[in-house]
Structure 1
């Protein structure tokens, strides 16, 4: 007796079946699905059970249902049938209504604003002028800034009855800017010798570096100067020989030069002869 071998490979999903089997799951309403999970133009939808695209059997009949399908792609081994096979489908939308819902969903998605909150950075306090110029001014500039502030500030200066300034007030009696300027002047005065020494060291280093680069350039030029002079001399002699040959052609039927062309050649030959004499010295 012949026995039929069982095929364990998932077959291609049919688009139309004649089985009367009906799934125990409740009917699937098309309007309850997302517009992008339905394609009424090709009568397919995404099965809610296995999340795969499945054709609808006879969508225009009285009892449309999903065709039997597997949870994996066609051609895979050990196929497992999805429980959503033969599930009834209620098509309560037309193709135009479904397409309109799809367009509205795409418009809302494209126009949706991002919910990400971008917080503004907190602005720090602005430093005072003395704090900004503290590391860039020298002792003379700091002293002049302090003197100018004392002359213009009534708190930092002691004046007579007529308003003439007698002297600067003590550090404890000055205003906030006056104390900062006085401290800046004292600080720069204390660091002035070290700053000048560092500046002189940098200038000395730059001078020695430039002198060393000049010596290196001269040494490198001495190594190649003879080869360069020989190449220049060969180039001048080759050009001079070519011009002399143009001036006195060897062939009798060669084109004759005009008076202007001969004068130009003589000027070029004279210039090249002078260059050759200078190179051979």
Structure 2
């Protein structure tokens, strides 16, 4: 296996000190030390996974020769240049704009709802509108207002059959009241006619008498 050339590695993947040298193994990408940096440097035997991994295996680059072809000063300058390049690259990136959802307006109490009858359908529409604008109501999580709306909607759903029966009973009572009013109005008209019918009959008789006057013969008319 060819030796690891120090100058061919990224300076940020090397840790160079006076009596110690470590680097990222080109084979398994884990940090490992280099023994005898001043003599015949080699990669210290190491596993190809992080420490604590079950059933570890020794990296094939263990005891691999390292060609130390740069001094500490050269490495320090190269590392600083590499860091400056990284900082410049980071500075040119456009920041990601984070759009925060504004907190949703508090939902009105059920008794404060105006503009439409309070029904299960109207509460459901208000619940959907609240969750769409509330950043606290996510997935199965509910804010206080959302939970209150959901509870009111559930109660109306449970009471819907009883409300339907009540509405049918109310319509039946209204129909019976209308029919009774009509019957009463008919009886009133009959009684009124009975009271005025004698006067009407007398007026009709007088009118007929005035339309046909009685003519008496003149005394001088010869017979």
Judge same fold: TM > 0.5, yes or no: no
Pair member with larger Rg = 2
